[in-house]
Amino acid sequence: MMRAGLEHRIEAALGQAPRSAEPLAGGCVGDVFRLRMPDGGDVVAKTGGAGLALEGWMLDYLREHSRLPVPRVLHADDDLLVMEFIPTQGGINRSAQRHAADLLADLHAVTAPQFGLERDTVIGGLRQPNAQSPTWAAFFRDQRLMAMGRQALDAGRIPAALMTRLENFCARIDEFIDEPPAPSLIHGDMWAGNVLCASGRIAGFVDPAIYYADAEIELAFSTLFGTFGDPFFARYGERRPLRPGFDEMRRDIYNLYPLLVHARLFGGSYVGSVAATLSRFGG
């Protein structure tokens, strides 16, 4: 059930009150509802938490700068986001993975002069700083690993000794990653819960955490929780061949960032995963 007052806010934003509401999965930060409207259409409302105006801005940015399918934003403010409803059917099967590869290859072909973005964004409700940099190694070191490590340390999620190991690894980051051809626009939070499918095709992507990056960090994230596999990578490689060293080294290094995000949010085994990755690379 929608909390008191939300129905009136929806009516003020859209000019009509919903006939009914049902909760949807995926409300990590707040609540998510499917609303049935009097005109026969359905919309999705996200409430609670903070940063929903920023999420709406990121969805609009993707619509304006790429062909990535994302829901159209109908209303966005700090604690209410209303979007079009995207029907789904089935999961991420082989054909959906190949379609996703085409869509993300197109997205990653959108480039910018620098890494980062014109404003900070969020990932999982956490601040994601995007101070722009001409070099990827510096951006990844300072705005991703060090920034999220400090958030996790300040929240008491990782011990000081692990932060010191992370700092030592970051001081050697140039030994492990190279500079990509250009900064690529990425969705930024590429796991199965943010990928909507319909009958073997991708219907849309939701919950972005956008910035311009080495596109490989998106590909790495997609393997962390088994979102995409061989069908995706075979097709993506036809469109945008991977540079040597991704499977052997950079995938695990890039996944330090989402592991730190999850360590900051949940602690537990993710802290051990961060430590294990650092150990592999002498950190």
Across the strands, what pairs with 202? Answer: 197
Domain ranges in the chain with CATH number 3.90.1200.10: 94-280
Give the tens place of pLDDT for each residue, 146-177: 999 999 999 999 999 999 999 999 999 999 99
pLDDT digits (tens, 9 = 90+) for 198-244: 999 999 999 999 999 999 999 999 999 999 999 999 999 999 999 99
Look up residue 129 and give its two tokens: 């700083």
Q: Is the pLDDT of residue 81 over 70?
A: yes
> What are the DSSP calls for the chain, one per residue?
-PPTTHHHHHHHHHSS--SEEEE-S--SSSEEEEEE-TTS-EEEEEESSS-HHHHHHHHHHHHHH-----PPEEEEETTEEEEE----BS---HHHHHHHHHHHHHHHT-B-SSBB-SS-EEETTEEE----BS-HHHHIIIIIIIHHHHHHHHTTSS-HHHHHHHHHHHTTGGGT----SS-EEE-S--SGGGEEEETTEEEEE-S---EEE-THHHHHHHHHTTSS-HHHHHHHHHHSPPPTTIIIIIHHHHTHHHHHHHHHHH-THHHHHHHHHHHHTT-
In CATH, the number for domain 94-280 is 3.90.1200.10
Angle at 178 between CA 177 and CA 182, to 5 degrees: 125
Percentage above 90 pLDDT, the chain: 86
What is 6-84's CATH topology? Phosphorylase Kinase; domain 1 (3.30.200)
The reported pLDDT for the residue numbered 45 is 94
| CATH 3.30.200.20 domain residues, the chain | 6-84
Please give the pLDDT value at position 14.
Answer: 92
pLDDT digits over 88-147, tens only? 999 999 999 999 999 999 999 999 999 999 999 999 999 999 999 999 999 999 999 999
Question: Residue 4: its pLDDT value, please?
Answer: 57
CB 23 within 8 A of CB 33: yes
The pTM score is 0.95
